[in-house]
Each structure stands twice: as C-alpha cells, then as structure tokens.
Amino acid sequence: DGGITQSPKYLFRKEGQNVTLSCEQNLNHDAMYWYRQDPGQGLRLIYYSHIVNDFQKGDIAEGYSVSREKKESFPLTVTSAQKNPTAFYLCASSTSGSINNQPQHFGDGTRLSIL
C-alpha cells in the first residue's frame, strides 16, 4: 500500500541536542511538507519542498532544517536553536499538477518531547 511513513513515533531530545525526524513516501509525490501541531494552534508550516533538491521556509522555520536529496524522503532536523521543540510533528505530501486542487496526504506523526 502507498503511503507516508514517519519515524519514530515518539522521540525524546536532551538539551543542546539535534534530532532528526524521518519522513518517507512511496506515493511518487513531488511535494512534501512539514507541520508542527500544538494544542489549540492548528497546523503551522515549518518547511516545504516542491521538487527534489529544492525547499522553502514556511511560517516557523527558525530552529529547524531539512533536506530533499531524494523524491521519497524529506527529513526534518530539530536543532538546539529550537527552544521549545515539544510538539506533534506531521509530514505530508501531494502531487504536482493544478496548483490549488491537490489534497495533502499525511503520515501518523512524531511526538517530540524534551528530557
């Protein structure tokens, strides 16, 4: 079955540590997205990528970094510069084509907590 796989499901970060969240998709989608979800704040876009080797900052990119070396993969690194990383992180992907008509498909999320 095609889909998006996020790992790990739960992740703990120590102070001053960088951690990387994995996102892999086998839907052959061009575009991929990372969101952060906090209680009562909906979804906030961290980074997005519409094509391999290219990505753009979203609304809350500070303290995060990404890479898009392969079409299937879009890992997110939460750096030590992100002072409040505790949240639920969601990865999504969508096809190219008509710009405004494509839904996004989501993984099951990674819950990151501070030790």
Partner 1 sequence: GDSVTQMEGPVTLSEEAFLTINCTYTATGYPSLFWYVQYPGEGLQLLLKATKADDKGSNKGFEATYRKETTSFHLEKGSVQVSDSAVYFCATGAGNNRKLIWGLGTSLAVNP
User: What residue ranges bind partner 1 (CB under 8 A)?
Assistant: 4, 6, 31, 33, 40-43, 45, 48, 50, 58, 90, 92, 94, 96, 99-109
Which phi and psi angles does 25 have, rounded to 5°?
-130, 145
Give the nearest distance from C-beta 90 to partner 1 in angstroms.
Answer: 6
Q: Which CB atom, from 13 or from 31, has the smaller least distance to partner 1?
A: 31
* Rounded Cα gap, residues 12 and 4, in angstroms: 22
Give the nearest distance from C-beta 35 to partner 1 in angstroms.
Answer: 8
* Rounded Cα gap, residues 39 and 72, in angstroms: 29
Give the nearest distance from C-beta 25 to partner 1 in angstroms.
Answer: 12
Peptide bond into 8 cis (omega under 30): yes
